[in-house]
Amino acid sequence: MGTDVAASDDPYLLTADGIKEPPRGWAASLRYLGPGLIVSASIVGSGELIATTALGAEAGFALLWMVILSTGVKVALQAELARWTISTGKPGLTGYNAVPPRFGRIGWISLLWIAMALSKLLQLGGIVGGVAVSLSLLIPVGADPLSPTSLAAWTLIVVAGSIALLYSNRYGLIERGAFLLVAVFSAVTVVIAFGLPFTPFSYSGADVAGGLALTIPAGALGAAVAMFGITGVGADEITFYTYWCVEKGYARWAGPPDGSDEWVRRARGWIRVMYKDVFLSWVIYTFSTLAFFVMGAAVLHPQGLVLEGNEMITTLSRMYTDTIGEWANVLFLLGAVAVLGSTLWASVPSWSRMYTNLFATLGVLDWQDSVARQRWLRALTVIQPVLWGMAYLFVSSPVVMVQIGGVATGIFLPAVVIATWYLRRTEVDPRLHGSAAFNVLLVVSSAAITLLGAYTILNVFGVGAG
C-alpha cells in the first residue's frame, strides 16, 4: 500500500471495478503469491533460529516429533481464516471481535488478543536484541561487544533504521531483500544440517527415530510449549496473514460478496491461489525449522551448550564454527542479522495493521477511512520499534523474551480456533467451504491446537504434569 491510498485503490474496499479473474494452475498463480512469503520472513527468525534451536539444545532429538507437529498442525486453521477474509474482505481482528459474548464495543477474543499483544512486546524486544547482539559482535562499540554501551548503541541503530526504512514506504523492497537473505541463510542451514553426519557432530537414524517417539523429556516442557506456540504459524501470524491476503488483492479481485454464482466462482479461484501461497510458505518454514532443530540437537546438546542471555548469538554461532570452522562466524552473524531482521521488518507493518484495526474496533478511527488508517499505520511504525527496543534493554534476555511470547501465542491459539469456526458458520457462504479432505484436516488441526492450548494453560497455572 502506498503512503496515501485513494479509495479506488484501497484493497479493503470491495468494488466491481476491482474484480479480476483468478489464474489457473501453479505457473499462472506464481505472480499472485506473496502473503505467505511475508509470513515466512516473520516465522524463520524468532521461531526457527531461537526457540527451535533452544529446544534442540535442551532436549536433544527427543522432541523432533513436536517440531513436525507444530509446523503442520496449524496450516489448515490459517487457510480457513483466510478463506473467510477472501469471502468478506475483512481482516482478522474484525472477525475476532464479532464472536460473542461482547462487552460494549469489544469482544472477549479481542481482550485476549490485547493480553497476547502485550506479551509480544517482550518477544519482539527479543528479536531487536538478537539483531543488536549480532551487529555488536560484528562491529563492537567500545572494547567489549556485549557491553551495555555497545548493545544500547546498536539497539538504537536497529530501532531507528527500522523506522526509517518502513516509514519511507520502501517495505516492498525490504521484504523482498529480507526474504532473499532468509532463503539463502536457511538453505545453507539445511545443507549443514544434512551434512552433519559427515562431521564430528554426526547423528544417526536411531537418533531421528527416537525423536519421533511421542514423549517429552523431564524439564523440557516449558521450551516445548513455547516452541509449539511460536514455530510454524502462530496465533499472530495466522491473524496478520488475513491482512496481507487483503492487501495482496485476493478479496478485492473476488469482488463484492453479492452471492452470485460468478462471485462464488471467482472467490473459489482466489482461494485456490491462497492455498498455493500457504503451501509454499509451509514448505519454507518447515524445512528451516527442522534444520535449526537438528543443528541444536546434534551440535549444542552434546556439548551441554544452552542459549542464555546476550550470549545466545555466540552460542548459536557454535553450530557453524564447530562444524565448518571459525571463519564461518562472520557469515553466521550476517545471516543472523538477516534472519532476525526479516522477522523484525515483517512484524512492524503486520502489528501496525493489527493495532490499527483494534483501535478502529474501539471507535478511535474509521477502518474504512484509508487516510486515517494510513496515518495510524505510520504512527505505529514509529512507536512499536521504540517500545520493543526499550523492552530489550530492560530485560536483556532474548531467549526468555521470545519464549514468553511463544507461550502466550500457544494460549491464544484456541481462541483463534473458536473464532475461525464461528466465522465459518456465520459469515462464509457454504458454497466456498473446503473439500471433505480439507474439512477433516481442519477438525484434526483444531482439536490438536485446542488440546495443547488447554494443556499449556493448565501448566502455566501449575496444574497437571510438569
Query: Hey, where are the domains in the chain?
Result: 24-460
Of the two residues 215 and 15, the one the predictor is more confident about is: 15
Which residues does residue 103 pair with via DSSP β-bridges, in sequence order?
106
Q: Could you tell me the pLDDT band of residue 159, with boundaries at 50, 70 and 90?
A: very high
pLDDT for res 426 = 97
- The yes-or-no verdict on residue 64 having pLDDT over 90 is no
At 427, the pLDDT band (50, 70, 90 cuts) reads: very high
Flag whether the pTM goes above 0.75: yes
Question: Which region among 74-78, 306-310, 424-428 has the lowest average model confidence (pLDDT)?
Answer: 306-310
Residues 331-388 pLDDT 10s: 777 777 877 777 887 889 899 999 999 999 999 999 999 999 999 999 999 999 999 9
**24-460 CATH, one of 3.40.50.2300, 3.40.190.10, 3.40.50.920, 1.20.1740.10:** 1.20.1740.10
Q: Give the mean model confidence (pLDDT) for residues 23-38.
A: 90
The answer on pLDDT for 182 being more than 70 is no
Residue 5 CA to residue 13 CA, distance in Å, equals 11
Residues 236-262: what's their mean pLDDT? 93
* Angle formed at CA 158 by CA 324 and CA 226, multiple of 5 degrees: 65
At 39 the pLDDT is 83
pLDDT at 287 over 90: no
> Does residue 465 carry a pLDDT above 50?
no
pLDDT at residue 47 greater than cutoff 60: no
pLDDT above 70 covers a percentage of the chain that reads 86
Q: Which range, of 86-95, 156-165, 214-223, averages the lowest pLDDT? A: 214-223
Q: Return the higher-pLDDT residue of 188 and 207.
A: 207
Q: How far is CA 36 from the centre of its chain?
A: 10
Confidence of residue 2 (pLDDT cuts 50, 70, 90): very low
Q: How far apart are CA 5 and CA 435, in angstroms?
A: 37
Averaged pLDDT for residues 141-153: 87
pLDDT computed for residue 36 by the predictor: 87
Q: Is the pLDDT of residue 33 over 70?
A: yes
- For the chain, the average pLDDT equals 84
Q: For residue 80, name the pLDDT band (cuts at 50, 70, 90).
A: very high
Residue whose grid cell is 477438525: 443
pLDDT of residue 466 exceeding 50:
no
Q: What is the pLDDT of residues 303-339, one digit of tens each?
A: 887 766 667 677 777 776 777 777 777 877 777 787 7
- Percent of the chain surpassing pLDDT 90: 39
Q: For residue 3, is pLDDT > 50?
A: no
Among the ranges given (78-92, 169-183, 202-216, 374-388), the one the predictor scored with the smallest mean pLDDT: 169-183
State the pLDDT at residue 173: 64
Tell me, what's the pLDDT at 249?
92
Query: What pLDDT does 326 receive?
Result: 73
More confident residue, 376 or 44: 376
Residue 463: predicted pLDDT = 54
Q: Which of 132-146, 183-197, 268-282 has the lowest mean pLDDT?
A: 183-197
Span of 65-74, 75-84, 313-322, 392-401 with lowest mean pLDDT: 313-322
